[in-house]
Structure formats: structure tokens, C-alpha cells
């Protein structure tokens, strides 16, 4: 009797200890995030204002705002996403739906995607500079930067989309075929909608990566801080602006912090949107 009670209390203690370890790990992770946020807020909040968002930078960014930088960032992202998405998703559909699992072609494509995913961004920067800026003659431009970023996004988008498509239960495909639906119809009406939340999450993940990218753009879209006139203009992305302000501009710390605050808020928004969007799709796909 006595022994059993001791055993029970021992077990309880062990359980509690395990819980403590797990909770402190979670706390540590959140603490890092909160500390980072507080640091950013303390350093940048006083500098942040509506004018900071809407004005052009002056005096190498020490004064004025980041309007032109936001526009450049947006344009670079647009170019990257609009070129990467069709290619990546078509690759994913091909790999998941039309290529036999063990075929050498599928293996080769998948292998090259893995390699591409592992390439450091600085190497993408060098390649982009050599290929888009010099060889294709696009120069330091938003187009060069966006296209290079697109190359970087390809493996992320393709592999998440492929995983999403593969996660759709095979029985849907069998059922659809048994009803005489063509593969295209099954793909369009059943499989893509079912995979959409994962594909959307992958897309937003990719946008997040692209938004935070610095090294690639340093080599390809340049760092002109003026408002871009066209896609062939050089444009400075937000992450690059932060880098430049904090490393090259004495007295640029405050605007650097404020810009970082904007960047982090954007990333947060994207993540929240991603979750909302994925959740909404999951619900709405049950509807007609």
C-alpha cells in the first residue's frame, strides 16, 4: 500500500518535471521572440510615423522615409512571385500527378530541386548578376532582382506544392476516375482545391523568405534609393535598406530600427494572413 503510494507520487513528480522542461523550452522560444520585438520597438517606435512610410528617404536615409524602398520591395516581390509560381506549381503538378513515382525523370527533377534549395543565397546573387544583369543585359534592376529571387523561390514553392498534392488521399483520384472524370477535371475540381491550403502556405512562406532576402538583391537589383520609374530601374529592397543604414551610414540606427519594425510587421501580417487564408480555404472548399 505504502509502496504503491510512493510509486504514484514519484510518477507524478516525473510528470511534473517533464512538464516543466517542456514549458520552459516554450517560454525560451517565446522569450527570444518577445525580446526581439521589445528591442525593435524601443529602437524604432519613436522614429516610426505616417511620414516615415510615405516620404522619400533623404540624407542617405538618415532623414525622410522609406516610400521608394517599399515600392521597390513590392515590385521585386511581384516579379519574383509572378514568374516563380506558374513554373513551380506546374512542376509540382507534373511530379505529383503525371510522372510515375520511381521514374528517372521524376528523380532527376526532384534531385535538382533539392540541390537548388540548398544553394546559399549569396551564390544565387552571383549567378543572378552574371546571368540576368550581365548576360541578358538587364543591369542592376528590379527585373534582375525579381527573376533571381524567383529562381530561389522555385524549390520552396515546388516542393511544398508537391507535398500538398501528394497529401490528397489517393482514393479521391480513384473515385474520380471510377466516375469517368478525366484527370484534368479531377485535378481542377478536387485535387487542387484540396491541396490549396498547403500550396498557399508554401507561397506565403516563400514570400516571407523573399521579403527577408538581402544577399541576392545586393548583386542584382542594386541599392539606388530613389523611386523606381520602371522594372529596369535599380531599386533598393527593405532588408537591404536596413543593412545599408546600420553598416554604412553613421547615425542611421534609428531609421534602421524603424525599417526593421516595418519589415517584421509585414512578415507578421503575412504569417497571420497565411493562417487565416489556409483555414478559410479549408472551410470553404466544403462549399459548392
Q: Rule CB under 8 A: which residues touch another protein?
A: 100-101, 171-182, 185, 189-190, 193-194, 285-288
* Burial (CB count <10 Å: 0-12, 13-18, 19+), residue 230: exposed
- Taking the least distance from each CB to another protein, the nearer of 3 and 101 is 101
Distance CA 77, CA 236 (A): 12
- Taking the least distance from each CB to another protein, the nearer of 153 and 194 is 194
In whole angstroms, the minimum distance from the beta carbon of 164 to another protein comes to 14
User: Smallest Cα–Cα separation from 145: which of 226, 220, 238?
Assistant: 220
- Taking the least distance from each CB to another protein, the nearer of 169 and 251 is 169
- Taking the least distance from each CB to another protein, the nearer of 118 and 288 is 288
Across the strands, what pairs with 58? 63
In whole angstroms, the minimum distance from the beta carbon of 95 to another protein comes to 15
Three-state SS string across the chain, please?
A: CHHHHHHHHHHHHHHHHHHHHHHHHHHHHHHHHHHHHHHHHHHHCCCCCHHHHHCCEEHHHCEECCHHHHHHHHHHHHHHHHHHHHHHHHHHHHHHHHCCCCCHHHHHHHHHHHHHHHCCHHHHHHHHHHHHHHHCCCCCCHHHHHHHHHHHHHHHHHHHHHHHHHHCCHHHHHHHHHCCCCHHHHHHHHHHHHHHHHHHHHHHHHHHHHHHCCHHHHHHCCCCCCCCCCCCCCCCCHHHHHHHHHHHCCCCHHHHHHHHHHHHHHHHHHHHHHHHHHHHHHHHCCCC
In whole angstroms, the minimum distance from the beta carbon of 229 to another protein comes to 48
- Taking the least distance from each CB to another protein, the nearer of 28 and 287 is 287
- Taking the least distance from each CB to another protein, the nearer of 120 and 169 is 169
In whole angstroms, the minimum distance from the beta carbon of 204 to another protein comes to 22
- Taking the least distance from each CB to another protein, the nearer of 57 and 164 is 164
In whole angstroms, the minimum distance from the beta carbon of 193 to another protein comes to 8
In whole angstroms, the minimum distance from the beta carbon of 201 to another protein comes to 18
Asked if 176 contacts 186 with a C-beta cutoff of 8 angstroms, the reply is yes
In whole angstroms, the minimum distance from the beta carbon of 93 to another protein comes to 17
In whole angstroms, the minimum distance from the beta carbon of 104 to another protein comes to 15
- Taking the least distance from each CB to another protein, the nearer of 94 and 126 is 94
Amino acid at each position: 500500500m505504502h509502496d504503491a503510494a510512493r510509486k504514484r507520487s514519484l510518477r507524478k513528480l516525473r510528470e511534473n518535471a517533464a512538464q516543466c522542461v517542456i514549458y520552459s523550452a516554450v517560454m525560451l522560444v517565446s522569450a527570444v521572440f518577445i525580446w526581439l520585438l521589445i528591442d525593435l520597438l524601443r529602437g524604432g517606435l519613436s522614429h516610426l510615423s505616417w511620414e516615415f512610410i510615405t516620404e522619400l528617404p533623404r540624407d542617405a536615409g538618415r532623414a525622410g522615409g522609406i516610400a521608394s524602398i517599399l515600392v521597390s520591395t513590392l515590385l521585386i516581390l511581384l516579379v519574383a512571385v509572378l514568374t516563380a509560381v506558374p513554373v513551380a506549381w506546374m512542376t509540382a503538378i507534373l511530379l505529383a500527378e503525371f510522372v510515375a513515382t520511381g521514374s528517372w525523370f521524376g528523380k532527376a527533377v526532384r534531385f535538382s530541386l533539392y540541390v537548388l534549395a540548398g544553394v546559399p543565397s549569396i551564390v544565387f546573387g552571383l549567378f543572378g548578376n552574371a546571368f540576368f544583369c550581365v548576360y541578358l543585359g538587364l543591369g542592376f534592376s528590379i527585373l534582375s532582382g525579381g527573376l533571381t529571387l524567383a529562381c530561389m523561390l522555385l524549390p520552396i514553392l515546388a516542393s511544398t506544392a508537391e507535398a500538398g498534392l501528394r497529401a490528397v488521399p489517393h482514393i479521391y483520384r480513384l473515385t474520380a476516375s471510377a466516375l469517368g472524370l478525366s484527370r484534368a477535371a479531377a485535378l481542377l475540381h478536387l485535387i487542387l482545391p484540396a491541396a490549396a491550403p498547403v500550396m498557399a502556405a508554401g507561397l506565403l512562406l516563400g514570400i516571407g523568405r523573399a521579403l527577408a532576402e538581402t544577399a541576392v538583391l545586393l548583386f542584382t537589383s542594386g541599392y539606388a534609393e530613389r523611386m523606381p520609374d520602371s522594372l529596369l530601374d535599380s531599386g533598393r529592397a527593405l532588408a537591404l535598406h536596413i543593412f545599408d543604414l546600420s553598416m554604412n551610414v553613421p547615425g542611421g540606427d534609428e531609421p534602421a530600427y524603424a525599417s526593421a519594425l516595418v519589415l517584421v510587421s509585414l512578415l507578421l501580417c503575412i504569417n497571420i494572413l497565411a493562417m487565416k487564408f489556409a483555414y478559410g480555404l479549408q472551410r470553404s472548399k466544403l462549399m459548392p
